[in-house]
Structure 1
Amino acid sequence: MASVRCLFRLDAQPPATYEERITLWRASSPEEAVILAEAEAGEYAVDVGGEYLGLAQVYTLADEPGHGAELFSLLRDSRLEPAAYLDAFFDTGDERQGVIEASEN
């Protein structure tokens, strides 16, 4: 079993909206998972009126998915300090995301 992360552009008007999707595939190899994911990515792009950007990154799962299972992992080398790294790649200020308030427990 493998998870595959694909990247899409949903809206070409500036500022463009990009989406990263991670899908799960029962496949006999990483290559097969990518083939399946890219076929689905093309259909998804048509359905949402977007464009599949041709980026597919595969992660072979170590065990069956269950509570807390790791579905995807990507390693990247960087000279950036943690706060700058997060700002550069994950918290640019343009993400559409909510905030989960900390629990008082």
Structure 2
Amino acid sequence: MENRGEAVRGIVGCLAAIVGGVVGLLAWAPYGRHGIFGGFEGESEWNVLWLGLPVMVLGGITAGIALFALLRGKWRSALGAAALLAGLAALGLAFDVLAGPPLCGPGC
């Protein structure tokens, strides 16, 4: 019977990671639409795709795993996932991965 419980926990953990990845993808979508398909004068910002998409999806997966670990009471695993999430956030901020193309300012 314990093997069945482990299997259920494993499936729920995988579902948490999948849902987190989908949420990360959905959160990235508005930035991707504006960054890839161009803004001012059709200029595209490919960093939104090459850096922003992986950071957002991996961040969503990590957040799902951290939440699942917290709900199970696995504090060390949750802290490790939270540290990874903080590292991904720092990477995203350092490289400005969700910056879209430059917009025309007031002097245009």
Task: Determine which structure has greater relative contact order: mean sequence separation of CA pairs < 8 Å that are 6+ residues apart, divided by chain length.
Answer: 2
User: TM-score, normalization: structure 1?
Assistant: 0.28
Q: Which has a greater percent of strand?
A: 1
TM-score by length of 2: 0.27
